[in-house]
Structure 1
Amino acid sequence: MIRPTFSPLIFIACVLMLAIVSVAVVAQVYDFRKNFSYLQALKQSEVDYEVKWGQLLLEQSALTQPSRLEQSAIRKLNMHSPSPDELVIVKP
């Protein structure tokens, strides 16, 4: 009958190796979760910036409407449409 031999040195080495691998796995999982959380925060920032960009585009289109520009020119710069007497046609 074969009798297994028990070596305390091999047992301690295996337990130590198991402990090291376990700590490495826990560190990797923690690092992954931290990076995943950071990625989620960046994606949320991207969505927020896209919403802000859309709002700015709407504001730009509202501010550059021809009727608004005309009203600002009349009110702030005292401009007016030229009368037929004020028109000068230059021929080439």
Structure 2
Amino acid sequence: MKKRDIQNTDLSSQPVPVLRWLGVFAPAHLLLVLLALAVLVSSLAIVVSSFESRSVFHALQQQRELSNELDMQWGQLLIEQSTFGLEGRIERRAIDDLNMQLPDWSQIVVVRNE
């Protein structure tokens, strides 16, 4: 057997790592590999950042809807408060401005229409 045949059989019996076969660890390719890793990491960071941004925007929209609902309820409560406060104000003005007063029970006459 020739020397070349022996060398070929020796190489085929030992598997060569893929990264060494690709020449990744060669000094000329090391910078390229580092740049590729940097691009990969930055693209993953962009994906995570956009996902978080959309999540926060969705939460913001939900809070705005809740705020609008609470504003509407607040307006309804203010209307209700002014409606209920109106009776007391009318009674107070009748007593103060017109000198009206509530009659005693003995002075109240109930009229029935039969």
Shorter-normalised TM-score: what interval? 0.5 to 0.7
Q: Does 1:53 align with 2:74?
A: yes
Task: Report the counterpart of residue 16 of structure 1 in structure 2.
Answer: 37
- Quote the offset at 1:7 in angstroms: 2.1
Higher relative CO (Cα under 8 Å, sequence separation at least 6) belongs to: 1
- Quote the offset at 1:82 in angstroms: 4.0
Displaced runs of 4 or more, over 4 A: none
Match of 2:63 among 35, 42, 61: 42
Higher helix share: 2
If the length of structure 2 is used for normalisation, what is the TM-score?
0.52
What is the number of residues matched between the two proteins? Answer: 69
If the length of structure 1 is used for normalisation, what is the TM-score?
0.63
Instruction: State the Cα RMSD in Å.
Output: 2.6
- Quote the offset at 1:38 in angstroms: 1.0
Q: Secondary structure at the match of 1:81?
A: coil
Distance 2:46 2:28 in 1: 27
Deviations 1:45-88 (A, max 9, x none): 11000000011111111212227x86xxxxxxxxx7147xxxxx
Q: Which structure has the larger Rg?
A: 2
Distance 2:52 2:71 in 1: 29
Match of 2:47 among 23, 26, 41: 26
Distance 2:83 2:64 in 1: 29
Instruction: Give aligned-pair identity as a percent.
Output: 28
